[in-house]
Amino acid sequence: MNMVPKIASPATHNEMANAIRALAMDAVEKANSGHPGMPMGMADVATVLFTRFLKFDPAAPHWPDRDRFVLSAGHGSMLLYAVLHLTGYGLTIDDIKNFRQLGSKTPGHPEYGHTVGVETTTGPLGQGLATSVGMALAERMLEARFGTDIVNHHTYVMAGDGCLMEGVSHEAIALAGHLKLNKLIVFWDNNGITIDGKIELADSVDQVKRFEAAGWAASHIDGHDPEAIAAAIEAAQKSDKPVMIACKTTIGFGAPTKAGTAGVHGAALGAEELAGAKKALGWNEPAFVIPPHIQAAWSEAGRRGTVLRTEWEKRHAALPADVAQRYSADFSGAITAAVAETIDGFKKAASESGAAQASRSSSQKILDLLAKAQPNLLGGSADLTHSNLTHAKDTGSVSAANYSGSYIHYGIREFGMAAAMNGIAVHGGFIPYGGTFLVFSDYNRPAIRLAALMGIRVIHVLTHDSIGLGEDGPTHQPVEHLAALRAIPNLLVFRPGDAIETAEVWELALNHMTGPSALALSRQNLPVCRKTHTAENLSAKGGYLLRETAKPRDVTLIATGSELTLAVQAAEKLSSEGIEAAVVSMPCFELFAAQPKDYRAMVLGTAPRVGCEAAIRQGWEIALRPEDPFVGMTTFGASAPAADLYKHFGITVDAILADVKSCLGRAA
Ligand SMILES: Cc1ncc(C[n+]2csc(CCOP(=O)(O)OP(=O)(O)O)c2C)c(N)n1
Ligand SMILES: [Mg+2]
């Protein structure tokens, strides 16, 4: 079904490939910036793939059963832009002329959500490949749910030497091989060149053997031989394993003096070299001009998929109504009405029972319920399932033998997991969440950043969120991680203070469609601070008055997560001494920052403020003025029981009381 009818091409393969090369050279030359070498080297592979194999329809770029194409070597963006222009995605020749200019549709590296036809943002090497694993996995899982008639597509990737040298490629290919993602096909641009020069400077890995060792099928071909490329793709489509095709190419193919050298990797060719390249390629056109017969052949390639798409639409229309409805709902990303009911029910029960529990345990109970309320939730953990408490009751594990489960054992691969989650999210059909320790957000941070940049919904469950994890010690105790995550634009960092806030932040993360969320959850038990049920999601404003004062405030205590309890206890003590202390819970700085000024001013008040969080102070200017004290961490933690550590590092009710009294000029 994936074989698409060949077109009766009025242009030769070389002419079509040279159109990509010419556009890449011209655009980089005009911008005087960019990377001509990769597009020139991989133009033959791209031409064979897009004109003979790739299932796509520029008229319906979001058709869910299209093949996915990932340019993991994102610096070669002009290859993708050229193809999107030539096949009719609506990228105009003016867009190509505006390559790398402010506001253009053709930024330096491909950006998801910015340019139609770009399936994921690439540029940080290796991540495109790791993201594609999530796409290919999403395809297998959806196929298991909806059948081959509706879900049957490939994920094709172009990866360079850089992508394969990056460590994340190891995690990605191991996961793909283990899960037998046989519809994942990777073209390695085996050109032997990186920025510093020849690959021998820094690498001598046998990549074919490496992929084979990870459970892939892999082979070498001449990346400039269209028939060899076509034969390799045909074979790959029949594979029962993921496939890597090592394409021997010449970087900057056609450039008279620079081809095959690092000099053509990332700089304009210069007028003379460019003219020489066009001559060598037999391309006699001025800049940005594509001869009509070549454009016609590319346009025809762009129309090949229409038949397949309309046939798919017929099959989709013939689905039983309930299945069609489920498919659409899953792809729309919508949250079911049952989620709000579930959250409300959980909050009510938690406020009534008042039982202390770790926020990671609250999260587990919420997930057990959410798995039923929102069946396309897709969980996972990087081998910390029983610590992160991410495996929802009654959901099965995904394996190569059975893709119908809803839980992925990502292995000890935090970065690979986070990148795969991005791929699952951009593919569509699931809401991915995955767990590790907060301290290891250092390991997956690059993928969290990319999710934030792409504006996609992925949810990171980051447990063991402070020195409160205790005996594992400073290697496992996050100190600067909350601040580091809060520094990422468009990421919501949640640190709920009790079971009720944990339910609320899950609801917020699920409904946050335009960016990722990170949930920092405790290992240790937290008492319930909210004893009266409210239907309203109080965490939605990021910060709110948990404890108000009857008389004008003397002081405002502001805390997050496990330290909320300390603030409440301190306020009660102060009140017994006649000091009016309000308590603000601040589970999400970013949402609080987005509130109107008046609301923030009302919550924070004008009295002295004391902040408390078992982490560094950086970022707390959201709530504290320079003169307001902060009870938190300034060093790494230590190995000891949690209670001893809180005392040792001075994160205590007494420390808060002392700061309050010093602010108010009273004796401690
Ligand atoms: C994570 C990361 N590190 C470094 C870079 C900078 N960089 C861009 S391209 C490149 C060299 C890549 O070599 P290769 O993949 O072989 O590309 P080619 O020169 O063959 O086009 C480097 C180091 C990057 N984009 N991402
Ligand atoms: Mg290279």
Torsion sign (Cα): 406, 385, 448, 539: positive
- Candidates 490, 435, 428, 477; CA nearest to 460 is 435
Specify the pTM: 0.97
**Model confidence over 506-526: pLDDT tens digits?**
999 999 999 999 999 999 999
Task: Give the pLDDT band of residue 666 (cuts 50, 70, 90).
Answer: confident
Query: How far is 571 from 568, CA to CA, in rounded Å?
Result: 5
- Please say whether the beta carbons of 576 and 540 come within 8 A: no
pLDDT, residue 122, reads 98
- Please say whether the beta carbons of 229 and 44 come within 8 A: yes
Q: How far is the CA of 642 from the centre of ligand 1 (A)?
A: 44
- Rg for the chain (alpha carbons), in Å? 28
Inter-helix orientation angle 321-332/127-146, to 10°: 160
- Please say whether the beta carbons of 576 and 657 come within 8 A: no
Query: How far is 171 from 188, CA to CA, in rounded Å?
Result: 17
**Model confidence over 413-468: pLDDT tens digits?**
999 999 999 999 999 999 999 999 999 999 999 999 999 999 999 999 999 999 99
Residue 131 pLDDT more than 80?
Answer: yes
| Ligand with minimal distance to 121 CA | 1
**Model confidence over 523-569: pLDDT tens digits?**
999 999 999 999 999 999 999 999 999 999 999 999 999 999 999 99
Which residues partner with 631 through β-bridges?
Answer: 612
Burial of 129 (0-12, 13-18, 19+ CB in 10 A): buried
Q: Which atom of ligand 1 lies at the shortest distance from residue 38's CA? A: 21
What's CA 461's distance to the chain center, in Å? 14
pLDDT, residue 4, reads 52
Catalytic residue among 166, 414, 504, 613: 414
Q: In 10 A of CB 131, how many CB atoms? A: 37
* Range 203-223 average pLDDT: 98
**Model confidence over 574-597: pLDDT tens digits?**
999 999 999 999 999 999 999 999
| Ligand with minimal distance to 41 CA | 1
Task: Give the pLDDT band of residue 2 (cuts 50, 70, 90).
Answer: very low
Q: How far is the CA of 144 from the centre of ligand 1 (A)?
A: 36
Average model confidence (pLDDT) across the chain: 97
pLDDT, residue 159, reads 99
Residue 8 pLDDT more than 80?
Answer: no
* Range 366-382 average pLDDT: 98
Query: How far is 515 from 204, CA to CA, in rounded Å?
Result: 39
* Range 358-387 average pLDDT: 98
Q: How far is the CA of 42 from the centre of ligand 1 (A)?
A: 15
Residue 13 pLDDT more than 90?
Answer: yes
Residue 406 pLDDT more than 90?
Answer: yes
Query: How far is 208 from 190, CA to CA, in rounded Å?
Result: 11
* Range 27-34 average pLDDT: 98
- Please say whether the beta carbons of 324 and 315 come within 8 A: no
Sheet holding 630-631: strands in order across? Answer: 544-547, 581-585, 555-559, 609-612, 630-631
What is the percent of the chain where pLDDT is above 70? 99
Residue 221 pLDDT more than 70?
Answer: yes
Structure tokens of 355? 């039982």
Measured in degrees and rounded to the nearest 5, phi and psi for residue 50 equal: -75, -25
3-state secondary structure 3-61: CCCCCCCCCCHHHHHHHHHHHHHHHHHHHCCCCCHHHHHHHHHHHHHHHHHCCCCCCCC
pLDDT, residue 10, reads 82
pLDDT, residue 667, reads 74
Q: In 10 A of CB 85, how many CB atoms? A: 27
Q: Whose CA is nearest to atom 19 of ligand 1?
A: 194
Q: How far is the CA of 127 from the centre of ligand 1 (A)?
A: 12
H or E stretch covering 85: helix 77-87
Residue 617 pLDDT more than 60?
Answer: yes
Query: How far is 620 from 604, CA to CA, in rounded Å?
Result: 13
Ligand 1 neighbours, Cβ below 6 Å, are 37-38, 73, 75, 123-125, 160-163, 166, 189, 191, 193-195, 251, 265
What is the percent of the chain where pLDDT is above 90? 98
Q: Which atom of ligand 1 lies at the shortest distance from residue 124's CA? A: 26
Q: How far is the CA of 247 from the centre of ligand 2 (A)?
A: 11
* Range 137-165 average pLDDT: 98
Sheet holding 184-190: strands in order across? Answer: 68-71, 155-159, 184-190, 243-248, 217-222
Active site residue 414: yes
Q: In 10 A of CB 572, how many CB atoms? A: 13
Q: Which atom of ligand 1 lies at the shortest distance from residue 195's CA? A: 11
Pocket test of ligand 1: the residue of 129, 193, 194 to mutate, having most ligand atoms within 8 Å of its CB, is 194
Give the three-state DSSP class for 556.
strand
Torsion of CA 419, 420, 425, 426, to 10 degrees: 80
- Amino acid occupying residue 252: G
C-alpha distance from residue 67 to each of 63, 135, 205 (Å): 9, 10, 30
